[in-house]
């Protein structure tokens, strides 16, 4: 089971949640190294955290629906109006608790690097909090039959570990596999990709748009007139451009869209919504629709890009100003 949930790494080891350990059972030193290792950034991404909570809630609902018919002590119910109200109140409180916890986790990542042991402790605290609330409701609202608080709390911890802990583990492994696959896709590209064939460098050569990955390695170099737009894909970006044959190509590299936005601030590369940065020079048409403005890039293979309200004024300024910022890419 453990081997099925791990990915092989170089040097005869395996990779578990981004941490390399020995081929066989990890030693005490290796276990300590894993616990102190920095948690991979992709596990703290916005969509990963939302996905983890959503999957956990769905998993818990399925698990409890299977468990309740075989339990003599569970008070959850949908038939009786009082029990339904209590069940709804508990479920709402549990979801809000997990959601608030994950929002707090997302916010705190800006201030300190979270190691594995902190993440594990955080998840355990979430489970304990949800189970403690269940215990309180059971003791004060549902009149349990001759049961002490410890009996109720310990039993709820067991089922809480299954209902919440298991989907946490599954989600973490799923996102680890996704990140691993994306990394392999990036590694399959050559060290530096360009949109032009190799030509002798001349003093009059045009400037290129150069894109670097998170490690500072140059990955892509292309002419501004060949770049259409850049798309965010979790911790990666997809660069859409045309090669020397005029064919639309996609290149993926590990980089945040925010980094690209800040690097090319004041140029013709402009953000039009939270997912896209567009090359204004490639916009063939700007049109107003019922839901807002849309950018048509004049390529049948590229769907129109929506402009959200947050970025509408910025986009419109490039079409209404007397001296738009288009020429920056032509320097």
Which run of H or E residues covers position 197?
A: none
Residue 96 or residue 138, greater confidence:
96
* Tens-place pLDDT, residues 163-175: 899 999 999 888 8
Distances (CA, A) of 76 to 137, 142, 153, 156: 11, 10, 16, 13
Q: Which of 67-81, 166-180, 194-208 has the lowest mean pLDDT?
A: 194-208
The helices-and-strands tally (H runs, E runs) of the chain is 8, 14
Confidence label for 85 from pLDDT (cuts 50, 70 and 90): confident
- Which pLDDT value is given to residue 276? 94
* Tens-place pLDDT, residues 262-321: 888 777 899 999 999 999 999 999 999 888 899 999 898 899 999 999 999 888 888 875
User: Global pTM?
Assistant: 0.53
**Alpha-carbon 150 to chain mean position:** 38
Strand partners, 276: 231
203, with CB counted inside 10 A (0-12, 13-18, 19+), is: exposed
Whether pLDDT at 203 is above 50: no
* Tens-place pLDDT, residues 215-258: 778 888 888 889 999 999 888 899 999 988 889 999 998 888 88
- Which pLDDT value is given to residue 26? 61
Confidence label for 30 from pLDDT (cuts 50, 70 and 90): low
Residue 259 CA to residue 264 CA, distance in Å, equals: 9
Annotate 202-233 with DSSP letters as a single string. -TTPPP-EEEE-TTS-EEEEE-GGGEEEEEEE
* Tens-place pLDDT, residues 106-158: 888 778 788 888 999 999 999 999 999 988 888 887 655 667 888 888 888 98
Whether pLDDT at 183 is above 80: no
Confidence label for 63 from pLDDT (cuts 50, 70 and 90): confident
Residue 178 CA to residue 206 CA, distance in Å, equals: 37
Q: What domains appear along the chain, each with residue ranges and CATH number?
A: 38-186 (no CATH), 208-330 (2.40.50.1020)
Whether pLDDT at 80 is above 60: yes
Residue 204 or residue 69, greater confidence:
69
- Which pLDDT value is given to residue 142? 67
Whether pLDDT at 15 is above 80: no
78 in helix, strand or coil? coil
Segment 19-38 shows an average pLDDT of 64
Token pair in block for residue 277? 């940065």
Confidence label for 185 from pLDDT (cuts 50, 70 and 90): low
- Neighbouring CB atoms inside 10 A of 190's CB total 7
- Which pLDDT value is given to residue 296? 93
Q: What is the DSSP letter of 38?
A: B
Angle of helix 166-187 relative to helix 46-67, nearest 10 degrees, comes to: 140
Confidence label for 159 from pLDDT (cuts 50, 70 and 90): confident
Whether pLDDT at 70 is above 70: no
DSSP E strands in the chain: the ranges are: 7-9, 13-16, 19-21, 193-194, 209-212, 218-222, 227-233, 236-242, 248-254, 269-271, 276-279, 285-289, 292-296, 305-306
- Which pLDDT value is given to residue 3? 38
- Which pLDDT value is given to residue 178? 77
Whether pLDDT at 206 is above 80: no
Residue 126 CA to residue 165 CA, distance in Å, equals: 10
Token pair in block for residue 95? 């979801």
């Amino acid at each position: 089971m453990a081997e099925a949930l791990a990915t092989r790494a170089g040097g005869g080891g395996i990779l578990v949640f981004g941490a390399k350990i020995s081929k066989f059972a990890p030693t005490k030193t290796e276990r300590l190294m894993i616990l102190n290792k920095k948690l991979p950034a992709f596990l703290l991404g916005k969509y990963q955290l939302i996905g983890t909570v959503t999957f956990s809630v769905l998993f818990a609902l399925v698990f409890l629906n299977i468990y309740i018919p075989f339990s003599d002590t569970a008070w959850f119910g949908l038939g009786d109006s009082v029990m339904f109200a209590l069940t709804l109140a508990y479920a709402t409180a549990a979801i809000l608790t997990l959601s608030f916890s994950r929002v707090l986790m997302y916010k705190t990542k800006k201030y300190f690097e979270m190691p594995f042991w902190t993440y594990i402790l955080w998840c355990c605290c979430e489970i304990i909090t949800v189970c403690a609330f269940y215990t309180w409701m059971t003791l004060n609202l549902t009149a349990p039959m001759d049961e002490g608080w410890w009996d109720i709390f310990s039993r709820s911890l067991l089922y809480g570990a299954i209902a919440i802990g298991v989907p946490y583990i599954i989600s973490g492994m799923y996102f680890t596999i996704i990140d691993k696959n994306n990394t392999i896709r990036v590694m399959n590209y050559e060290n530096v990709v360009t949109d032009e064939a190799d030509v002798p460098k001349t003093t009059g050569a045009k400037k290129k748009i150069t894109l670097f990955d998170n490690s500072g390695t140059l990955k892509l170099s292309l002419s501004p007139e060949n770049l259409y737009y850049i798309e965010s894909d979790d911790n990666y970006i997809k660069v859409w451009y045309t090669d020397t044959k005029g064919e639309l190509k996609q290149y993926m590299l590990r980089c945040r869209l925010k980094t690209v936005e800040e690097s090319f601030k004041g140029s013709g590369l402009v953000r039009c919504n939270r997912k896209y940065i567009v090359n204004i020079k490639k916009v063939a048409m700007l049109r107003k629709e019922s839901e807002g403005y849309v950018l048509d890039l004049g390529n049948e293979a590229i769907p129109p890009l929506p402009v959200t309200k947050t970025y509408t004024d910025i986009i419109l300024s490039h079409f209404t100003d007397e001296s738009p910022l288009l020429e920056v890419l032509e320097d």
